[in-house]
Chains A and B, each alone.
Chain A
Amino acid sequence: MSDTSFMPEHPPVTDWVHDFDHTDPRWTENPFPIWDELREKCPVVHTRRFQGCYLPTSFEAVRQIAYDTEHFSSRRVIVRDERPEIQKNGAPPITSDPPEHKPAKQLLLPPFTPDAVKKLEPRVRAICNELIDGFIADGACDAADCYAKFIPVRAIAHMLGIPEADAGLFIDWIHRILELSIKDESQLKTAAEEMGAYFIGHIEARKRQPTDDLITTLMNARDKSGAPLDDMHVLGSLRLLLIAGIDTTWSAIGASLWHLAKTPADRHRLVAEPELMPTAVEEFLRAFSPVTMAREVIKETEIQGCPVRPGNMVLLSFPAANRDPAVFPDADKVVLDRKQNPHAAFGLGIHRCIGSNLARMEMTVALEEWLKRIPEFHLDPAHQVKWSQGTVRGPRQLRVIF
């Protein structure tokens, strides 16, 4: 099958207001001017692609939808050409609505508090340095493919208690589930089956011999009635941690390094003033938010004067909200010491990302260790930067010279 077989369904976009497509190459390459144009014209636009989908681009419209679980369901959180069957235990709690959402989320929160993730920091620092050891002598590397990519996957493997050496498997599943499946549903099925079989093996092994890790913690968790979670719930939550915890942070680290590689003033400033790291990390999260979520409209309503009808999906663009100049002055500029930055990179409302504290720690450590050892670096002009397609945006090829 040639690539052109998909062309009729995704012709190039010429009218973003009535026919947007987040898989269009222009969006993949540089979505910011598109969002700015749409935000000025209409806070919520619609496309007939993907069987019908809305896109809010203002902070206020995104906020309203994120808070409104009555009209907008999380049972589907990725916008695809097809609408796969809804699974009872998709990936709780990200695919849960109230009232099931809260108990499912409460179970996962304690291992992800700032204090809990701080315990992982030494391991993450070691992972970063092991990776840098692998390429520093070369004077050049792909900062996305040889560095950013491996940090979150190894950290989450360490947390779950599965071999860090299996990182390649996870990266492959995630690529198929989040990117290839948008246009080829069979990728979703096979990758999910392989992932399920892998984790069931780990769950079974822990029934025989419990271990001190997050999988065992989940298996020992009890719901309100005191009953343990069934294997399918544990499996769904593991699926979520893997999918949500890897290419998201990998994208955020990659985008931060991309910005620093092409912006000498910010690079020099962050090296000279490492105390700026906390605000810099928040600013990278705002300016290059990797994650766009989705909702499914389940009841007719209105958002910012725009009618919204059931049967359609919503591309819930936290990245576009974070570029709204009504909330963030100079929204298109990266300001390392931005004082007021209530960004929505980790979502808003009940579905706030469980892993936000982990992601911040990984980003901070990844940038600190890189800048300590490679304070001077720039983009390799011989290679293009390539960005991921779909709902998690970050550089997938980022050749730098140092």
Chain B
Amino acid sequence: MSGKLKVHVDPDKCQGHARCKALAGELFDLDAYGNAHEKGDGTVPPGLEDKAYLARANCPENAIDVTED
């Protein structure tokens, strides 16, 4: 286990509350409608692990997954 984290936004669950972008703009972005997606392939750079979990904990729709590679 490398312990490298990845984030993923489930597009069917996301309703565009935009909490993840506000809390962890390094990891998430919004489209033209304000719906969220992970940046790149979702890999969490070292040092941003807490932000990944913070974003997950604050998503009202439970749309964010944080997984270990």
Contact = CB atoms under 8 A, between A and B. Distances in A.
Interface of A: 106, 109-110, 112-115, 278, 282, 339-344, 346, 348-350, 352, 356-357
A250 B60 CA distance: 23
Contact of A348 (B15, B18, B19, B21): B15
A109 B34 contact: yes
Interface of B: 15-19, 21-22, 30, 32-34, 54, 57-62
Contact of A109 (B33, B58, B62): B33
8 contacts: A109-B33, A109-B34, A113-B32, A114-B18, A114-B34, A342-B62, A344-B60, A356-B16
A342 B59 contact: yes
A350 B12 CA distance: 10
Contact of A112 (B34, B58, B59): B34
Contacts of B59: 342
Contact of A113 (B15, B17, B34): B34
Contacts of B18: 113-114, 356-357
B58 A342 contact: yes
A349 B15 contact: yes
A357 B34 contact: yes
A340 B32 contact: no
Nearest to A343: B60
B14 to A, nearest CB: 9
A339 B57 contact: yes
Given A348-B15, A352-B17, A340 B33 contact: no
